[in-house]
Amino acid sequence: MIKFHIQKASFISLWIVGSMFSGLPILADSDHHAQSSDRHDNGSDRSSKEQKKHRNKPPVVKAAVDLGAAATFGLFGGAAGMTNQGVFTVINGDIGTTGASTLITGFHDRSAVYTETPLNIGAVNGTIYTATAPVGSVPSVMASAVALATQTAFDNLSPAALPGGLDVSSLGGGAGELGNRTLAPGIYCSAPGSYSIQGGDLTLDGKGNPNAVWVFQMASTLTVGGPGAAFPQSVILKNGAQAKNVFWQVGSSATINEAGGGTMVGTIISYATTTVSTAGNVTIVTLNGRALALNASVTLVNTHVNLPAL
């Protein structure tokens, strides 16, 4: 009996010790699951941050939109023509309309003068094209080709062709306000339908890439300058950004620095009118780009238009 009790006691002791040790893997496994859960949570946090960061990046355009026959034009006024007021306007490029020559007012090129007065003189260091000009050309051929190329470029810059444009409000600030921003290359689409550059300049940062492209899409208006008419604003290029790679697809009208002054950059293609400055302003507005209107006129007051390098 004594022997039996000793064996039984030994068995019970071994069972207790075994039970104690048998629980250790469970604790270790629980700790492993906890650590794994922590790693998973941390990974989720990182993934969430990466997704948010990705959402705040605009889609990238691999190449500038082809302007075709419109590439050499600083101004185009659809079938409505264009008007210059003031004596300091200079266009370094061609200008044109599919309309009659009488719809060009206040300009001259090397071979013809179009309704200039002593107060309205605009020098075109290129050629003026209309339904009948220049003399000796085949009527309407060049102007019609530019009209088609401008419409094609407008369509190729649209949200239908270049979807997913970034709403700038995701970067902070107002959804339609581009003033006081520095933007990376890519496609930007106005959530409210219009864009303005007011209260500060817009800076485009090429990040060292001379081929970087910016596309700004808006269903309605583009307004540069302000708030109010007395504060011109500019678009500033840095780190390799080039004017030839900046595009503004404007669903209705564009108004650039009503008070005069400032520098606008890029090719503006508007469905309706484009107006630069206001009558009576003598401070030069500079457009390093183009103003191409599909269905209305282009009006300039003492403006320098510099065609970007092709």
Residue 28 has what pLDDT? 36
Q: What is the pLDDT of residue 3?
A: 42
Question: What does the buried/exposed string (b/e) look like for 53-62 if buried means 16 or more CB atoms within 10 Å of the residue's CB?
Answer: eeeeebeebe
Buried-exposed string 110-120: b where 16+ CB fall within 10 A, e elsewhere: eebebebeeeb
- CA–CA separation, 202 and 195 (whole Å): 12
Buried b (16+ CB within 10 A) or exposed e, 289-303: bbbbbbebbbbbbbb
pLDDT of residue 51: 47
Question: Alpha carbon 5 to chain centroid distance?
Answer: 91
pTM greater than 0.85 (yes/no):
no
Identify the pLDDT of residue 230. Answer: 77
pLDDT by residue for the chain (310 residues), tens only, comes to 444 343 444 433 434 334 433 443 333 333 444 444 444 445 545 544 444 445 689 999 999 999 999 999 999 999 999 999 999 999 999 999 999 999 999 999 999 999 999 999 999 999 999 999 998 888 889 999 999 999 999 999 999 999 999 999 999 999 999 999 999 999 999 999 999 999 999 999 999 999 999 999 999 999 999 877 779 999 999 999 999 999 999 999 999 999 999 999 999 999 999 999 999 999 999 999 999 999 999 999 999 999 998 8
Sequence-separated (6 or more) residues with CB below 8 Å from residue 257: 224, 225, 232, 233, 264, 276, 277, 285
Residue 5, pLDDT score: 42
Residue 42 confidence (pLDDT): 52
Helix pair angle (2-22, 24-55), 10° resolution? 10
pLDDT at 139: 85
